[in-house]
Amino acid sequence: MKIWYPSTCLLLSLSVILVHCRRNVLFLVSDDMRPELPIYYGPDFPTPVHPPMHSPNLDMLASKSLLLKRAYVQQAVCSPSRTSLLTGRRPDTTHVYDLVKYFRNVGGNFTTIPEYFKQQGYRSIGMGKIFHPGRASGHDDPISWTEPYFHAPNLGLYGTRKHSWRAVPRSEYEVQPLPDTQLADNAIKVLRDVAPAARSGGKNFFVAVGFHKPHLPFIFPEDFLASYPIESIHLPDNEFAPVNMPEVAWSGYGELRAYLDILKLNASGNPNTSLPNDVVINLRRAYYSALSHTDNELGRVLQELENLGLANDTIVSFWGDHGWQLGEHGEWCKHTNFEDAVHAPMMIHVPGVTDKGLVTERLTEFVDLFPTLVEAAELEPLPLCPENSDQIGLCREGTSLMPLMRDPTMEWKEAVFSQYPRSKNGLSIMGYSIRTDQYRYTEWPGFSGPPAYKPEWETMFGAELYDHNSDPEENYNRADDPKYATIRNKLRDQLRTGWRKFLPPV
């Protein structure tokens, strides 16, 4: 029998005085999940070539959330993207562009989302991949949490470089559960632990669950292959690099080529080369299966939130740390400024606000999540960061999305920004990309690095301009097309002016 719990956000005291309580936060993350979900079908879907996708739990969450159809990361690789979102600041502020540097050492002693809620008296509990693990986060940024951090034990058993993907038989995963299953189990245990105090209004919680898939290697229970019959999987329709693409825009997908089954193919990773068709088909099928596996484990956590009577008082956010290239352009992994790399899923459920489901096509950014969660929890709004915020612990470089929950079609940001570093002959390069409603424009200038961390616009290694109205797959670079000269000049000025000029009018 299901037990009904009244909302703890309105408690009637013995003196018949209504006492307002704060909302809890369940913070859900997926690794390398591009928005290849049924809820994104249409012009915002990553590719026109795909099988029917199976993600019933994320579909359900989206049905009572603000679904951000066009949310963009600030850099398409794990640590820089996560650091940016978790601090609410962009890579040129955190100074994190790789998987090594820790923002507290190279950027500043910035307050993170879980740390902020900890400071507000919440139990802050983390597990799995929230920050990029290891030295890039000082080992999961210990100051952000009130409890010991949890990682799935024996993670390495399913994470070798031998195979880029593997369907795990039931006889194996029933003995040794997969890491994301262990994370879901732990999340359920934690929710049961925090529930009594949360229901009574005695102690709020911020629980962060970072699932590992569909990151490489694509490891999943073999059962999920049934959702994606081999005959339903097809090659991308654009297995070639964009016409007139500058060399600097390309990534040789070394992450994938490091797996032994791919390494033995002697793939060069160069533009306009591709992996064998059967390998592409199997990789795509495995990615879809891993995605559905993550959806299943996430669903178990969401169901437990309901079972415990916490759903009416808990904000739920979900995001994937960046997109992923799945053979489109002959490209794989992330590590670029192409649309498929920087476009990622995000949704936010706020009880009593988004219950009927809202969808926005407005351009949004991952730096917007921090101020959104603060406002959704009815805490003091974060101030906008000044130009130099190195010495300021708490501020924002994004904008709360709460106004879009009131009107998803309201006037909003006219442009969003991403970036990705490169090097050539010992020279540092930074690709800066601006996305407007119709265009993506990217420039690849030299980059000064520390201590200035500034673009050197006078030294240019390439430019890209894609017209999404006529070319949604970014197959033709129009940067040097005379017909686009006027729009390129406008976009160049907007790109170099930067994000501050595009804050929404709220």
Please identify every residue annotated as catalytic.
78, 132
Q: Which two tokens stand for residue 31?
A: 């690794």
Distance of alpha carbon 444 from alpha carbon 467, whole angstroms: 18
Distance of alpha carbon 92 from alpha carbon 97, whole angstroms: 8
Question: In the chain, count of helices (H) and strands (E)?
Answer: 14, 18
Q: Is 182 helix (H, G, I), strand (E, B) or coil?
A: helix
CB atoms closer than 10 angstroms to residue 156? 8
Q: Which two tokens stand for residue 395?
A: 């501020």
Question: Which segments within 235-388 are labelled E, that is strand?
Answer: 314-320, 325-326, 332-333, 343-344, 346-349, 358-365
Beta pairing class for 343-344 and 123-128: unpaired
CA distance from start to end of the chain:
46
Please count the CA atoms within 13 angstroms of the CA of 1 that sit on its side-chain side.
Answer: 3
| Contact criterion met (CB below 8 Å) for 298 and 213 | no
C-alpha separations of 152 from 155, 177, 182, 372 in Å:
6, 10, 6, 30
Beta pairing class for 343-344 and 24-30: unpaired
Q: What is the DSSP letter of 437?
A: S
Longest dimension (CA), the chain: 75
| Contact criterion met (CB below 8 Å) for 31 and 214 | yes
Phi, then psi, of 178 in degrees rounded to 5: -65, 155
One DSSP character per residue, 46-57 reads: S-S--PPP--HH
